[in-house]
Chain A
Amino acid sequence: MIELKNIEKYYANKGVKSYILRHVTTTIKQGEFVSIMGPSGAGKSTLLNILGMLEEPTYGTYEFMGENVTSLNERKRIELYRNHIGFVFQAYHLIDEMTVYENIEAPLLYKKVGSAERASRIANLLDRFNIVAKKDLFPNQLSGGQQQLVGIARALAAQPSIILADEPTGNLQSAQAEEIMQLFQKLNKEDGITIIQVTHSEKNAEYGNRILHIADGVVKGDVQV
């Protein structure tokens, strides 16, 4: 599903290249649950952003479902991730001015899903995550765990084939964090959604089936769990 070949990312500063990623080459198959681990500043988030097409690598090729992402124009790229990629963030990043319902609806609007279909999908998600009663509340009226649930529901609304999560439990208490990780595991096993998460916690990494260790921009280890 994902093929990275020799991905490099650096910033040139006063003639000095400071590398974020070096020679990253890996393949991620459909249905995998990958955790990217490593110390702060190792380049985990950058790798995730490149995977999510939010950043471009300075060098190397990235194939997503057989298409070469690095050579696509912006319009095509947006089209591609609109349909296949869902994002979950550490800080939830819900839109404060939208209700829970509207937040979940937003990606569907960009995907131009018809209104009846929208309503049924959202109802389904609200039901599944037990947040039906909260649908008209605004994000700041929810707890952190609930916000992250909405965040995941939003990522799932567009029915992506892959979810990218940047420290999804970083801001949560351990009980809530566990709940979220179990949800991810369930999505991976039951719905066959590919999941790639960045995490600091060994415990969280064990929910997945593969761990990529990164340090100083280089992949140091690739372990199957």
Chain B
Amino acid sequence: MFKLNLKIAWRNLWKNKVYAAINIGGLALGLTAFVLMLLYINHEESFDSWSPDLKNVYQIREKHDFFTPDNKEHWQDAVDSRMAALVKENIPQAIAVTRVDQEWDWNAGYSVKVRHADPVMIQKVKDADSSFFSVFDHQFIQGNTETALKSPKSIVLKESIALKLFGTTKVLGKTLKLVIWRNDPGQQLTVTGVVKEPQTPQTVGFNAIMRTGEKDKDPDNITAKHYCQVYAKMYGDLDSVSLNKTLQQVYVKAKKASFAKQKINYNDYYKDGKTPGLRALQLAEVHANPAIHLSWKDKLKPVVGISIFLLLVSVINFVNLATAQSVNRAKEVGVKKVLGSNKHQLLTQFLLESALQSVIALFLCVVLVEVVLPAFNQHFNVTLSFWHNPRLLLMIFQLVMLFVVVTLLAGFYPSWVLSNYNPVSVLKGNYANGLKGTAIRNVLVVFQFVISVTFIIAIGVMYQQTKYVSNKDLGFDKGNLINIRTNYEEKFAERLRKIPGVKYIATTTQVMGNAFNIPEEITYKDNNIALNTVTVSMDALQALGVKVMQGRIFAKEYKQDTVNAVVINESAAKLIDKYPVGKLYDVKSDKEKYTFQIVGVIKDYHNEGFDKAVLPTIYKVTHLGGTSMTNNVLVRFNSENSAQIIRKIEAEWKVAYPNYPMSYVTMNDSLNKVLEENNRFMNMIVLFSTISVSLSLLGLFALSTFVAKRRTKEVAVRKVLGAANYEIINLLNRSFLILVIIANVISWPIAYILIKKWLDAFAYRIDMPVLPFIVATVVSITIAILTVSIQARKAATMDPVTALKYE
């Protein structure tokens, strides 16, 4: 019986090739999007699961406001290096605690030189103390956990890096020269181990772990801090609640002791909502809860929603076509029932048919996934694979579950409708009962169009917002400007200024791509105002090309500028004074009071994405309360011919710093990087909505074919009674048109709410536009009418005699 049912299913598919293709193809597309998302989720879920030992490893997080984009307190993974000792001494269960460098996007890597070979830049070379491998249980190919970082000036390489540098993994005892900064004299490190790449991705990823000795000790000066990541391996299962309670107590105690030595008032420091905090986070949870950025789960939410909707659209097509086709199968059901089949058997048969289609769709989907995966990987900057997935079994299990769910979703309702046909009425030739399920079908069509129309509206609004953002005045001139990743040095800057075509050489702590904010509180007319401080060199603001709104910007002619003159931006001016030029303000510390004079106001310029508002900022040339370790050197060109000038700069660089390659970005690239994530999201919405809209239309097309077919007799009778062709087309159009209009009305508020939420995430955004709503409605109605009319025309122009003869 199974074989026969399979045969019938196959013959039916073959008979309705076009609809079967629409069904299966649509389902395959919907599945592909879903499976890609599954792959991505699996990848993210697999972080830090490469060793069972890792469940006892914790990341230490401290609450503070350094390095944050908004100058507010956050739980951060970059913590004071003293926390390692604090944890080790106060938590008896801590077996090993290690300090390791945090990751920094802006860092191009370190220069590594093996004997006489050219230096190569290698990213993710991290400095750690001797306990690193006691905490992270990596598998050694050469060397072992105990000896690896036992002595300072040692380095442990990942297998791939060992092969890249030396061509072999047998490298124990070999030395290499590491240069961290361009004028770092460099240090000789001895290779003491080679580790395997773990099976799954890691939060503490590295190409090499070295022990230079820097991470071994904390700074002697109590006011100085080294920020790094701290990880601890605990003994046995710990209650994380009580662990965190202990950590918090210990931390507060330590802070109080430290403040007492620095003569800082504890209560003064922690006010206005600022609170001290220290806690441990299990490593397994770290990847899903990043310190400042949005976690992958939050980022993925809209994508999950979209791909589920896409799958739903294709499942709905499936259900609609199957129930519409059911009229053709009614006779089969009737006859089979008369022959002695029971409902259960029929239900199984029709479920089998939808299972057959979903199996084909699933195979197509696997092929599609293989085809699009490289593009997907590149687009989302991940390395996913289907067949070489370490968790292939899990993946296959998920696919089987997906298959079952889709089959039931798509197959159950049609099967149920079909197996419920009353044999007597069907065999009497009374197919009017085939109209069963029209209501549900209409609901599904409406639902489908709600999704499509919402997508179209979303594209419209996103397009307008993106256009607004890309045309927005950045506040500085991004053309002909590059940023070299290095610290400013006057001697080198002078040499670069001599190159023809170079207009300005300057540095700043805040520029798009690499900005770090230093909070400062000023006192102006007895008001305390929290502001952001940026240290610049004399001509940095000129180099950026900012607009001066009031007063002047820094210039060499004013001696005072290196002492106590500041420039503020418009946002800061709003907080301080409407006409601030010439006004004075104070910065108080415990011992002293500094007074600054505002000499100018500049227009706000952007240095982060458009989701973040420009902070109220003070620009200083003085070193008081600022820093000169910027790792930015801005170069502004006179001419468009930048390639030649950059070559000359590189030549100068090679002379000055032979052991360290130069790396730079253009401001255009920096901006693109900031916009990248948003554009990526937009591209995905465009892609998905195109698929969803075309699937809906294909579904509508097929559905209207069936409806037109079923109404042939009605059409014929109307024609005999004298209806004109266009009247018949109108008749058939009307039923669908109502559905599409209802769908539009429903999707307006849905789209409004969703898009408002998306827009609200931008600090700089357009007002909700009306045009996309109108366009979406007009487009959806027009396309629906066109689609249905093709079928309606066919029905209308048919010879009525053929239709009426079939009885």
A106, closest chain B residue (CB): B339
Q: Which of B335-381 contact A (CB under 8 A)?
A: 335-336, 338-342, 345
**Is the CB of B153 closer than 8 A to any CB of chain A?**
no
Complex Cα distance, B13 from A97, in Å, reads 10
Task: Indicate if the CB atoms of B339 and A45 lie closer than 8 Å.
Answer: no
Q: Which of B1-48 contact A (CB under 8 A)?
A: 1, 4, 7-8, 11-12, 15
**Is the CB of A75 closer than 8 A to any CB of chain B?**
yes
* Chain A contacts for B334, CB-based, 8 A: 93
What 1/0 mask marks residues of chain A from 133 to 156 whose CB sits below 8 Å from any chain B CB?
A: 000000000000000000000100
CB distance from B720 to the nearest CB of A (A): 24
Task: Indicate if the CB atoms of B332 and A96 lie closer than 8 Å.
Answer: yes
Task: Indicate if the CB atoms of B339 and A154 lie closer than 8 Å.
Answer: yes
Question: Which one of B7, B335, B341 has the highest number of Cβ atoms from chain A below 10 Å of its Cβ?
Answer: B335
**Is the CB of A21 closer than 8 A to any CB of chain B?**
no
**Is the CB of A64 closer than 8 A to any CB of chain B?**
no
A151, closest chain B residue (CB): B335
Complex Cα distance, B332 from A93, in Å, reads 8
**Is the CB of A11 closer than 8 A to any CB of chain B?**
no
Task: Indicate if the CB atoms of A110 and B423 lie closer than 8 Å.
Answer: no
A157, closest chain B residue (CB): B339
Task: Identify B1's interface contact among A97, A109, A154, CB under 8 A.
Answer: A109
**Is the CB of A105 closer than 8 A to any CB of chain B?**
yes
Complex Cα distance, B336 from A106, in Å, reads 8
Task: Identify A102's interface contact among B4, B340, B341, CB under 8 A.
Answer: B4
What 1/0 mask marks residues of chain A from 72 to 109 whose CB sits below 8 Å from any chain B CB?
A: 00110010011000010101011111100010011101
Complex Cα distance, B331 from A91, in Å, reads 11
Task: Indicate if the CB atoms of A87 and B338 lie closer than 8 Å.
Answer: yes
CB distance from B344 to the nearest CB of A (A): 10
Complex Cα distance, B766 from A18, in Å, reads 68
Question: Which one of B340, B424, B429 has the highest number of Cβ atoms from chain A below 10 Å of its Cβ?
Answer: B340
Task: Identify A78's interface contact among B331, B335, B340, CB under 8 A.
Answer: B340
CB distance from A150 to the nearest CB of B (A): 12
Task: Indicate if the CB atoms of A78 and B424 lie closer than 8 Å.
Answer: no
Task: Identify A110's interface contact among B7, B8, B11, B345, CB under 8 A.
Answer: B345
**Is the CB of A183 closer than 8 A to any CB of chain B?**
no
CB distance from A73 to the nearest CB of B (A): 12
Complex Cα distance, B338 from A91, in Å, reads 14
Task: Indicate if the CB atoms of A93 and B15 lie closer than 8 Å.
Answer: no
**Is the CB of B427 closer than 8 A to any CB of chain A?**
yes
Task: Indicate if the CB atoms of B340 and A95 lie closer than 8 Å.
Answer: no
Task: Indicate if the CB atoms of B338 and A111 lie closer than 8 Å.
Answer: no
**Is the CB of B428 closer than 8 A to any CB of chain A?**
yes
Task: Indicate if the CB atoms of A54 and B342 lie closer than 8 Å.
Answer: no
Task: Indicate if the CB atoms of A97 and B15 lie closer than 8 Å.
Answer: yes
**Is the CB of A158 closer than 8 A to any CB of chain B?**
yes
* Chain B contacts for A82, CB-based, 8 A: 339-340
Complex Cα distance, B147 from A27, in Å, reads 102
* Chain B contacts for A111, CB-based, 8 A: 340
* Chain A contacts for B331, CB-based, 8 A: 93, 95-96
Task: Indicate if the CB atoms of B12 and A55 lie closer than 8 Å.
Answer: no
Question: Which one of A82, A109, A154, A158 has the highest number of Cβ atoms from chain B below 10 Å of its Cβ?
Answer: A109
What 1/0 mask marks residues of chain B from 200 to 230 whose CB sits below 8 Å from any chain A CB?
A: 0000000000000000000000000000000
Task: Identify A97's interface contact among B11, B424, B429, CB under 8 A.
Answer: B11
Task: Identify A95's interface contact among B332, B342, B345, B423, CB under 8 A.
Answer: B332
Complex Cα distance, B15 from A158, in Å, reads 30
* Given known contacts A55-B424, A91-B429, A110-B345, A97 and B332 CB-to-CB distance under 8 angstroms: yes
* Given known contacts A109-B1, A158-B340, A97 and B335 CB-to-CB distance under 8 angstroms: no
Task: Indicate if the CB atoms of A93 and B11 lie closer than 8 Å.
Answer: no
**Is the CB of A188 closer than 8 A to any CB of chain B?**
no
Complex Cα distance, B424 from A45, in Å, reads 10
Task: Indicate if the CB atoms of A109 and B424 lie closer than 8 Å.
Answer: no
* Chain A contacts for B345, CB-based, 8 A: 110
* Given known contacts A75-B342, A107-B339, A154-B339, A45 and B332 CB-to-CB distance under 8 angstroms: no
**Is the CB of A61 closer than 8 A to any CB of chain B?**
no
Task: Indicate if the CB atoms of A97 and B8 lie closer than 8 Å.
Answer: yes
* Chain A contacts for B15, CB-based, 8 A: 97
A107, closest chain B residue (CB): B339
Task: Indicate if the CB atoms of B341 and A110 lie closer than 8 Å.
Answer: yes
Task: Indicate if the CB atoms of A49 and B332 lie closer than 8 Å.
Answer: no
Complex Cα distance, B594 from A53, in Å, reads 103
Task: Indicate if the CB atoms of A109 and B4 lie closer than 8 Å.
Answer: yes
CB distance from B206 to the nearest CB of A (A): 63
Task: Indicate if the CB atoms of B427 and A107 lie closer than 8 Å.
Answer: no
* Chain A contacts for B423, CB-based, 8 A: 54
Complex Cα distance, B340 from A154, in Å, reads 12
* Chain A contacts for B428, CB-based, 8 A: 45
Complex Cα distance, B342 from A45, in Å, reads 22
Task: Identify B427's interface contact among A93, A95, A96, CB under 8 A.
Answer: A93
Complex Cα distance, B339 from A158, in Å, reads 9
CB distance from A113 to the nearest CB of B (A): 11
Task: Indicate if the CB atoms of A98 and B8 lie closer than 8 Å.
Answer: yes
What 1/0 mask marks residues of chain B from 743 to 776 whose CB sits below 8 Å from any chain A CB?
A: 0000000000000000000000000000000000
Task: Indicate if the CB atoms of B340 and A81 lie closer than 8 Å.
Answer: yes
* Chain B contacts for A75, CB-based, 8 A: 342
CB distance from A96 to the nearest CB of B (A): 7
* Chain A contacts for B7, CB-based, 8 A: 102
* Chain B contacts for A49, CB-based, 8 A: 424
Complex Cα distance, B423 from A89, in Å, reads 12
Complex Cα distance, B611 from A223, in Å, reads 94
* Chain B contacts for A55, CB-based, 8 A: 424
* Chain A contacts for B12, CB-based, 8 A: 97
Task: Indicate if the CB atoms of B339 and A54 lie closer than 8 Å.
Answer: no
CB distance from B769 to the nearest CB of A (A): 53
Q: Which of A46-73 contact B (CB under 8 A)?
A: 49, 52, 54-55
CB distance from B325 to the nearest CB of A (A): 12
Task: Indicate if the CB atoms of B424 and A89 lie closer than 8 Å.
Answer: no
CB distance from A97 to the nearest CB of B (A): 5
Complex Cα distance, B424 from A109, in Å, reads 22
Task: Indicate if the CB atoms of A94 and B340 lie closer than 8 Å.
Answer: no
* Chain A contacts for B8, CB-based, 8 A: 95, 97-98
Complex Cα distance, B337 from A110, in Å, reads 10
* Chain B contacts for A54, CB-based, 8 A: 338, 423-424
What 1/0 mask marks residues of chain B from 425 to 465 whose CB sits below 8 Å from any chain A CB?
A: 00111000000000000000000000000000000000000
CB distance from B234 to the nearest CB of A (A): 63
* Chain A contacts for B332, CB-based, 8 A: 95-97
Complex Cα distance, B4 from A107, in Å, reads 12
Task: Indicate if the CB atoms of B335 and A95 lie closer than 8 Å.
Answer: yes
Complex Cα distance, B543 from A18, in Å, reads 96
Task: Indicate if the CB atoms of B339 and A110 lie closer than 8 Å.
Answer: yes
CB distance from B326 to the nearest CB of A (A): 14
* Chain A contacts for B335, CB-based, 8 A: 93-95
A50, closest chain B residue (CB): B424
* Chain B contacts for A97, CB-based, 8 A: 8, 11-12, 15, 332
* Chain A contacts for B340, CB-based, 8 A: 78, 81-82, 107, 110-111, 158
* Chain A contacts for B4, CB-based, 8 A: 98, 102, 105-106, 109
Complex Cα distance, B15 from A45, in Å, reads 33
Complex Cα distance, B339 from A102, in Å, reads 13
CB distance from B337 to the nearest CB of A (A): 8
Q: Which of B309-342 contact A (CB under 8 A)?
A: 331-332, 334-336, 338-342
What 1/0 mask marks residues of chain B from 456 to 496 whose CB sits below 8 Å from any chain A CB?
A: 00000000000000000000000000000000000000000
Q: Which 5 A-B pairs have the closest CB atoms?
A: A82-B340, A110-B340, A107-B339, A97-B11, A109-B1
* A interface residues, Cβ below 8 angstroms from B: 45, 49, 52, 54-55, 74-75, 78, 81-82, 87, 89, 91, 93-98, 102, 105-107, 109-111, 154, 158
> Can you list 10 residue pairs at the A/B interface with Cβ under 8 Å?
A52-B338, A82-B339, A87-B338, A89-B427, A93-B331, A93-B335, A95-B332, A107-B340, A110-B336, A110-B341
With A93-B331, A102-B7 given, name 7 new contacts (CB 8 A): A49-B424, A54-B423, A75-B342, A82-B339, A93-B335, A97-B8, A106-B4
